[in-house]
Amino acid sequence: MSTAVPADERLLTRSYLRRVLGRPELGAVVGAAAVFVFFSFVADSFLQASSLSTVLYASSTIGIMAVPVALLMIGGEFDLSTGVMVTTSALVSSMFSYQMTANVWVGVGVSLLATLAIGFFNGFMLTRTKLPSFIITLGTFLMLTGLNLGFTKLISGTVSTKTIGDMEGFESARALFASHLTIGGVDLQVTILWWLGLVALATWVLLRTRVGNWIFAVGGGADAARAVGVPVNKTKIGLYMAVAFCAWISGQHLLMSYDVVQSGEGVGNEFLYIIAAVIGGCLMTGGYGSAIGSAVGAFIFGMTSKGIVYAQWDPDWFKFFLGAMLLLATLLNAWVRKRAEATK
């Protein structure tokens, strides 16, 4: 005969509803559902398989970068150099391969090392100087913008790189970074798989590993985290290098999709990545957010940018809708968090 073990009164039990209300991405999910339903009614072609494929692709181009940006924001920092870093990654890969007459994969490898070095530089400067990440990465943004234009004109003679579409290794690199896949009769870009894979990996890191605990602790309070043994500097440098790694992926996709790169691309995209993370539930103050939320935020971006086109509206209004969604999502996320804390 078995005897029931009494519950420990010291343990706090939470209902399933309270756990759901405590999720940072809840507001974004509600917002995404509303946007989906809205465009389903106002745009006749929105629900077509080809349209949804285009929406997912647009979402993935933002979502790949929104994932590490969200982790960085959870860790309490920002990176304003992400947009131009993507372009830098593509430029390094293209110009190195072309000028050295090397296999495209050599350029891809050099680009990875160069991009990771930029991420390390951002993290190292932040931890050594103690300056705000806004200042550090704004400086990096300006330097990369100048380097992108200066080196491209110096080496290529124009503001764009030379085509590498006929070089050895291009097709295999293109298959990894810019190929199309047919799943269930629907044509999808491989970037969607990259995006979903990064979301799954980041979610596992945040919720199932010691590193995830460090990220939340650093964002919640660096001094308190350091006092309990969290390697604050290494965590922040690692987060910046994770941003750089995803910038490398996005940069290679940009290059392999068009085989040439304009040196001025990417300026302003850093705000889109931050917006996706904020819409997804990340707090500007750090210590709160999720990778899944960033994915939902990127999906809202994709639905809005393409839904306006399918509804045949003037695309000049897109930034207005994006700004309105940012404000509404931030207010909704703040309300959800307060409700979750009140029910604990």
At a CB cut-off of 8 Å and minimum separation 6, what does 301 contact?
58, 59, 62, 272, 275, 276, 279, 322
Confirm whether 10 is domain-assigned.
no
Question: What is the tally of structural domains in the chain?
Answer: 1
pLDDT tens, position by position, 182-208: 877 778 899 999 999 999 999 999 999
Residue 275 lies in a domain: yes
Residue 2 lies in a domain: no
Question: Comparing 318 with 278, which gets the higher pLDDT?
Answer: 278
Mean pLDDT within 59-85:
96
* pTM: predicted TM-score of the whole model, two decimal places: 0.90
Question: According to the model, what pLDDT value does residue 23 have?
Answer: 75
pLDDT surpasses 50 at 137: yes
Q: What is the pLDDT of residue 244?
A: 98
% pLDDT > 90, the chain = 66
Please provide the average confidence, as pLDDT, over all residues in the chain.
89
pLDDT of 17 over the 80 cut:
no
- In this structure, what CATH number is given to the domain that contains residue 204? 1.10.3470
Q: Does position 16 have pLDDT exceeding 80, yes or no?
A: no
In angstroms, the CA 297 to CA 27 distance is 10
The lowest-confidence range among 4-18, 40-54, 154-168 is 4-18
Q: What is the mean pLDDT of residues 12-39?
A: 75
Residue 8 pLDDT greater than 50, yes or no: no
Question: How many percent of the chain have pLDDT more than 70?
Answer: 90
Is residue 33 assigned to a domain? Answer: no
| Domain span including residue 224 | 48-333
In a domain, 25, yes or no: no
Measure CA of the first residue to CA of the last residue in the chain; give whole Å: 37
- Only one residue has tokens 């030379």, namely 162
Q: pLDDT band for 4, please (50, 70, 90 cuts).
A: low
Q: What is the distance between the alpha carbons of residues 185 and 306, in angstroms, rounded to a whole number?
A: 21
Residue 12 counted as domain residue: no
Least confidently predicted of 182-191, 265-274, 330-339: 330-339
What was the pLDDT predicted at 143? 97
SS (H, E, C) the chain: CCCCCCCCCCCCCCCHHHHHHCCCCHHHHHHHHHHHHHHHHHCCCCCCHHHHHHHHHHHHHHHHHHHHHHHHHHCCCCCCCHHHHHHHHHHHHHHHHHHCCCCHHHHHHHHHHHHHHHHHHHHHHHHHHCCCHHHHHHHHHHHHHHHHHHHHHHHHCCCECCCCCCCCCHHHHHHHHCCEEEECCEEEEHHHHHHHHHHHHHHHHHHHCHHHHHHHHHHHCHHHHHHCCCCHHHHHHHHHHHHHHHHHHHHHHHHHHHCCCECCCCCCHHHHHHHHHHHCCCCCCCCCCCHHHHHHHHHHHHHHHHHHHHCCCCHHHHHHHHHHHHHHHHHHHHHHHHHHHHCC
Query: For 155-166, what is each residue's pLDDT tens digit?
Result: 888 999 999 999
Please report which confidence band the pLDDT of residue 219 belongs to, taking 50, 70 and 90 as the band edges: very high
Residue 29: inside a domain, yes or no? no
Q: What's the token pair of residue 67?
A: 């994932």
- Classify residue 36: in a domain, yes or no: no
Burial of 210 (0-12, 13-18, 19+ CB in 10 A): exposed
Mean pLDDT score, 303-327 = 83
